[in-house]
Amino acid sequence: MSLLSLPLLDRAPFAARFEHVLTHTDISTLQINIGRLCNIACNHCHIESSPARNGPQDNMDEPTARRVVEWALRHDMIRTIDFTGGSPEMNPNYRWMVEAFAAAGRHVMTRCNPTLIGHTRRGGAEEYSWVPSFYARHTLEVIASMPCYLEENVDHQRGHGAYNASIKGLLALNACGYGRKPELRLNLVYNPIGPSLPPAQDPLEAEYKRELKRRFGIEFNQLWTITNMPISRWRHELEREGRLEAYMEQLIDAFNAATLEGLMCRHQINVGPDGRVYDCDFNLALNLRSPGLERAYLWDTSLGDWLGRSIGTADHCYGCTAGAGSSCGGALV
Binding residue (CB under 6 A) for ligand SF4 from 29, 31, 33, 49: 49
Q: What DSSP state is assigned to residue 269? A: E
Binding residue (CB under 6 A) for ligand SF4 from 3, 40, 148, 212: 40
For residues 36 and 100, which CB has a smaller minimum distance to ligand SF4 in the complex? 36
Binding residue (CB under 6 A) for ligand SF4 from 174, 227, 301, 313: 313
Number of residues binding to ligand SF4, judged by CB under 6 A = 24
At closest approach, how far in Å is the CB of 45 from ligand SF4?
Answer: 3
Q: Is 243 helix (H, G, I), strand (E, B) or coil?
A: coil
Binding residue (CB under 6 A) for ligand SF4 from 41, 73, 296, 303: 41
At closest approach, how far in Å is the CB of 288 from ligand SF4?
Answer: 8
> CB–CB of 144/195 below 8 Å?
no
Q: What DSSP state is assigned to residue 144? A: E
To 10 degrees, what angle do helices 201-216 and 162-175 make?
A: 80
Residue 2 half-sphere exposure, CB side, CA atoms within 13 Å?
3
Residue of 90, 181, 91 lying closest to 136 (CA atoms): 181
Q: Which amino acid is at 34?
A: I
At closest approach, how far in Å is the CB of 36 from ligand SF4?
Answer: 8
> Which range of residues in 79-87, 134-142, 179-187, 245-253 is near ligand SF4 by CB under 6 A?
79-87
> CB–CB of 24/311 below 8 Å?
yes
> Which range of residues in 53-61, 250-258, 290-298, 311-319 is near ligand SF4 by CB under 6 A?
311-319
29 binds ligand SF4 (CB under 6 A): no
Tell me how far the alpha carbon of residue 228 is from its chain's centroid: 11
> What are the strands, taking DSSP E only, across 191-245?
222-225
> Which range of residues in 37-45, 102-110, 121-129, 243-251 is near ligand SF4 by CB under 6 A?
37-45
Binding residue (CB under 6 A) for ligand SF4 from 13, 85, 192, 272: 85
Burial degree of 146 (CB within 10 A; 0-12, 13-18, 19+)? buried
264 binds ligand SF4 (CB under 6 A): yes
> CB–CB of 208/164 below 8 Å?
no
From residue 211 to residue 250, the character string flagging contacts with ligand SF4 as x (rule: CB under 6 A) and all else as - is ----------------------------------------
Binding residue (CB under 6 A) for ligand SF4 from 27, 30, 176, 265: 265
Distance CA 123, CA 103 (A): 36
> Which range of residues in 61-69, 130-138, 211-219, 279-287 is near ligand SF4 by CB under 6 A?
279-287
| Nearest-10 Cα torsion for 120, 121, 126, 128 | -100
Distance CA 252, CA 2 (A): 12
186 binds ligand SF4 (CB under 6 A): no
Residue 56 half-sphere exposure, CB side, CA atoms within 13 Å?
4
Q: Which amino acid is at 103?
A: A
251 binds ligand SF4 (CB under 6 A): no
Question: Which residues here bind ligand SF4, judged by CB under 6 A?
Answer: 38, 40-42, 45, 47, 49, 85-87, 113, 145, 263-265, 279-280, 282-283, 311, 313, 316-317, 320
